[in-house]
Amino acid sequence: MRDHGRYPYSAIARRPAWDWPGGRRLAVFIAVNLEAFPFAEGMGIPLVNPLPEPDVQNYGFRDWGNRVGVWNLLDALDEFALPAAALMNTAIYDLCPPVAEAFRARGDEVVGHGRTNAERQSDMDEATERAMIATCRARIAVEEGAAPRGWMGPWVAETHVTPDLLAEAGFDYVMDWTHDDQPTRLATRGGGSLVTVPYSKPTNDIPVLHAAKWPPSVWADALIDQFEEQLRLSRKWPLTFNLSLHPFLVGHAFRLKHLRRVLAHIAAARDDIWLCRPGDIARHAATVL
């Protein structure tokens, strides 16, 4: 049976004991996907059945997220004083720079997220992918004053060499792998490694709100249940909990109302959890793995 060769099997119940900083047991972070799409070309995320280009209805659905939705979401994050990580398409810097400026002003971490979600790495050859990664890293370094330490590919897509290319480009961690609730080491060629920061699919708004079309109230209840149970389980072993949010989905008022319930629940537990960003998780994990 083919194996990826990146990490061995490990049962969470049989791992060495360790804690998050301050003796906390549950690390919590919020990832905001900041994505920009060209008009009438490349991949997209259709709200309704896609039409021949120019598909202005579905383009507008995505563009609304950067014009309105993200500002609604930022208002909620600020209300509850919650940190976030900006998963940044570098096209944001060209098409809607105030969005990047707003997260920079909050002191949020910027994570590399490709040039645009109109493309994905799994369609690239090695040279093209290497160049894309390098271009994104360099652009973020110019805009933010420091190169990003972490990466999540557009569409959470990889090639067989993506981890190798990320390590060779200078990245410390990757969020594409969804195999665990703790960070793990991901082996890369040449004897190197990356830290994987968990990026949970069940708490990602795309598969639940968009693909499965859950009612927002049910979605929020499920997130609160997930948070409470992860907090209980973390008494046995350290865990992570993350929200993966897209402004063009959760920025709409009828969803944001219920997201506020979730954020309020998390904020109320701040003395019992480690509120952090993914880079913080990777940095601490590197000392215990």
Tell me the domain boundaries of the chain. 22-37+53-288
pLDDT of residue 228: 99
- Whole-angstrom distance, CA of residue 163 vs CA of residue 262: 33
Note whether 104 and 136 are within 8 A (CB): no
The whole-model pTM stands at 0.96
The per-residue pLDDT for 201 is 85
Q: Please, which contacts does 78-82 make with residues 24 or more away whose CB atoms are closer than 8 Å?
A: 78/106, 79/260, 79/263, 80/260, 80/263, 80/264, 80/266, 80/267, 81/267, 82/30, 82/263, 82/266, 82/267, 82/275
204-232 confidence digits (pLDDT tens) = 999 999 989 999 999 999 999 999 999 99
Cβ proximity of 15 and 185 under 8 Å: no
**pLDDT of amino acid 3:** 94
Amino acid symbol at 34: L
Q: Do the Cβ atoms of 165 and 136 come closer than 8 Å? A: no
**Fold of the 22-37+53-288 domain:** TIM Barrel (3.20.20)
- In sign, the C-alpha dihedral spanning 212, 216, 222, 227 is positive
Structure tokens at 241: 């909990």
Question: Which parts of the chain register pLDDT below 50?
Answer: none
Single-letter amino acid code for the residue at 218: V
Question: In this structure, are residues 277 and 84 in contact, taking their beta carbons and an 8 Å threshold?
Answer: yes
Residue with tokens 């259709």: 46
What pLDDT score was predicted for residue 51? Answer: 84
